[in-house]
Chain A
Amino acid sequence: MVRKLAVGSLVTALLSLLPAWVWAGGGAATELVVVADTRALSGFNFYLATLYNQDMWIFATWAVVITSALGVSLGLLMDLIMSHVGLDLGKSAGHVEH
């Protein structure tokens, strides 16, 4: 575990050394603006992309809300399926996953 920590610290140290190397080959700093091409889209994709072009704050809120809702509902659904199949996940409940 301590080695893992040392490794992590080393990565962070390397990260802090990066700027010189990075800037050496860099071009002029310009913000990249992305416009999603909604012209050939329809349905949910069209809605998402339009929102993306129009209002980033609502888009970001939506992104977080939909992602978490989908994560939770898929987890619940899988739990349900697994209990139907007969595999008891409770046995390995102490297990971490992320």
Chain B
Amino acid sequence: MKKILLLGILLAALALCTGCLNKAEESHVYQGDCLAIQDGGKTLVLANSQPKLNPLKGDKAVFDISKAKVGLAPEVGNVIRVAFMVEKGKNVAIKVMNVSKQDLRKK
């Protein structure tokens, strides 16, 4: 019983530490139809197809995907979902998912 309690406490402590360490900036998610891929594939322009859900205002949004983890290659016309952070006024993508091509439900 003591062992279990000890383990519980250890885990709680670890959880607390992890929680404290997690001070990274909050990321956001944006989804829309791909309008253009520019700068040799480094910049993605998405239409604001779901203005009520998307966190950025305006008809379209530009994302720097040079450092992002990109799955199935985005093409103009595809629905793309981007996880991004705002760094110095620029939308820097972390992950890019091609919603049109990647329907996980069929797997």
Q: Taking beta carbons and an 8 Å cutoff, which residues of A are in contact with B?
A: 30-40, 50-51, 53-55, 58, 61-62, 65-66, 68-69, 72-73, 75-76
In the complex, the chain B residue whose C-beta lies closest to that of A58 is B22
Q: Name the B residues within 8 Å of A68 (CB-CB).
A: 7, 11
In the complex, the chain A residue whose C-beta lies closest to that of B101 is A30
> Are the C-beta atoms of B8 and A53 separated by less than 8 Å?
no
Quick one: which of B15, B21, B71, B83 contacts A53, CB cutoff 8 A?
Answer: B83
> Are the C-beta atoms of B18 and A69 separated by less than 8 Å?
no
Task: A51 to B22: give the CA distance in the assembly, Å.
Answer: 9
Residue from B12, B31, B81 whose CB has the most chain A CB atoms within 10 Å: B81
**B44: interface (CB < 8 Å):** no
